């Protein structure tokens, strides 16, 4: 969409900011032509005062809603006490935060970082070191099995095993050591395992890949295969974790415990970039002082907000609410049997709506924005419906009705 098209019909202040953004901002996003100025719970307001329902939740980073009062209070209180010291010393916030995190995820230890991509990079380092020092894989020969359609971040190592050519183009030389197999195909995983395999890295639901859910029983079979072959299983739950799918972790739906779980996004409560790898004693104990670190990782402010986020998740029963709300929204859309909708996928409040051939998903997103709903395309013909877990039933019914009305215009003769 051209700059002229973006600014058509917008107020002067919005047009000016969009023009400034186009001039000074590195062009790595194709954003909606909306300039947000404030937000509360599930709603966002633009400069002109128009209100929009947030059906994106910043890719699950705002799972608790915008400006949750408990999280805001924790943030402001801690900011006035202690924020960043680096890990050269301890803070009174980090250990209690990590203790709650490992207890709620059923793991032994945690390593805090900042972004989700950093959590994945940390997990890669951990399983490679375990492969070398424990399994006995020769140096520089460890392999990690990943899945077609994956999205784990945008660092150089991570894009090296992306299935999307546009994520790799121009960023070589790419990092070796990854083998990609079809998502959900346990036989393909079995064939790919060799004595050099140190880990399998998987998203329990592929978000950027189009909200793709693996076949029932696949994760359980994958856990069993990794146990048999002495391979670490790493789950990237940066988007799916902390209630998004109606369970604490998406892996919980099949009752499995990975050797490591990557968490992020929602862990920061919608205020800060907070991530972590939580894992077993056997895996996390391969790290020693100097092996890894981060100036901001685990800072007191992030730890306080992350700890409060976990307690809000538990106190407000947001896993159960996500399960109930997701079932309602999915039912409303399925019962409508709209000809523009080819498929509805997901769990809890991580829902992908795939459109029929000929429906322009990007155009649908712009039409929804005009109607007061914010969402974005994932994987060509699919849009996400992933609102904050705090959303109520009446608002979900309204959102489903607006989406169906918008789609009527795309199927009208």
Cite the active site residues: 151, 236, 265
DSSP secondary structure, 291-316, as one string = S---SSTT-HHHHHHHHHHHHHHHHT
Strand partners, 111: 277
Task: List phi, psi (to 5°) of 362.
Answer: -65, -40
Q: What is the strand order of the sheet 341-347 is part of?
A: 341-347, 350-355, 382-385, 377-378
Identify whether the C-beta of residue 282 lies closer than 8 Å to the C-beta of residue 126: no
Nearest to 291 by CA among 92, 132, 144: 132
User: What is the DSSP pairing of strand 197-202 with strand 260-263?
Assistant: unpaired
Q: Which ranges of 230-284 does DSSP label H, i.e. alpha helix? A: 281-284
312 to 23, 139, 169: CA distances (angstroms): 40, 44, 41
| 383: enclosing H helix or E strand | strand 382-385
Pairing of strands 377-378, 43-46: unpaired
Residue 50 DSSP one-character state: -
In angstroms, the Cα distances linking 74 to 43, 242, 347, 349 are 21, 19, 30, 26
- Tokens 């409040």 belong to which residue? 349
Report the phi/psi class of residue 243: left, alpha or beta, with left for phi > 0 and alpha for psi in -120 to 50.
left
Q: Facing residues of 261 across strands?
A: 235, 278
CA-based torsion, 9, 11, 12, 15: positive or negative: negative
Task: Please tell me the total number of residues recorded for the chain in this structure.
Answer: 413
Cβ–Cβ under 8 Å, residues 411 and 66: no
């Amino acid at each position: 969409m051209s700059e002229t098209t973006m600014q058509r019909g917008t107020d002067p202040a919005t047009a000016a900011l969009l023009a400034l953004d186009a001039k000074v901002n590195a062009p790595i996003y194709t954003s909606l032509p909306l300039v947000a100025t404030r937000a509360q719970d599930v709603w966002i307001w633009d400069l002109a005062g128009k209100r929009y329902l947030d059906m994106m939740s910043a890719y699950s980073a705002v799972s608790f809603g915008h400006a949750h009062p408990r999280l805001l209070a924790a943030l402001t209180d801690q900011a006035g006490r202690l924020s960043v010291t680096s890990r050269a010393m301890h803070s009174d916030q980090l250990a209690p935060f990590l203790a709650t995190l490992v207890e709620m995820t059923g793991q032994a230890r945690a390593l805090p970082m900042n972004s989700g991509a950093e959590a994945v990079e940390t997990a890669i380092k951990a399983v490679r070191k375990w492969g070398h020092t424990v399994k006995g894989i020769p140096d520089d020969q460890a392999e990690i099995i990943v899945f077609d359609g994956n999205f784990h971040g945008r660092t150089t190592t991570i894009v090296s095993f992306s299935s999307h050519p546009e994520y790799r183009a121009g960023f070589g030389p790419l990092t070796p050591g990854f083998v990609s197999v079809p998502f959900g195909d346990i036989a393909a995983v079995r064939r790919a395992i060799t004595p050099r395999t140190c880990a399998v890295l998987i998203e329990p639901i592929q978000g950027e890949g189009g909200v793709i859910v693996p076949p029932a029983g696949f994760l359980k079979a994958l856990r069993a295969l990794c146990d048999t072959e002495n391979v670490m299983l790493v789950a990237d739950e940066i988007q799916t974790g902390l209630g998004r799918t109606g369970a604490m972790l998406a892996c919980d739906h099949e009752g499995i415990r990975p050797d490591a779980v990557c968490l992020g996004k929602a862990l920061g409560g919608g205020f800060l970039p907070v991530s972590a790898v939580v894992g077993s004693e056997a895996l996390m104990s391969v790290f020693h002082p100097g092996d890894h670190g981060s100036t901001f990782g685990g800072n007191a402010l992030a730890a306080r907000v992350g700890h409060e986020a976990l307690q809000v998740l538990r106190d407000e029963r947001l896993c159960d609410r996500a399960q109930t709300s997701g079932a309602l929204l999915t039912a409303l859309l399925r019962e409508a049997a709209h000809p523009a909708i080819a498929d509805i996928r997901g769990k809890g409040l991580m829902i992908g709506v795939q459109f029929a051939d000929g429906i322009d998903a990007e155009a649908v997103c712009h039409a929804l924005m005009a109607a007061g709903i914010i969402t974005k395309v994932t994987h060509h013909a699919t849009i996400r419906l992933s609102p904050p877990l705090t959303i109520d039933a009446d608002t979900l019914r309204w959102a489903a009705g607006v989406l169906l009305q918008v789609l009527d215009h795309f199927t009208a003769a």
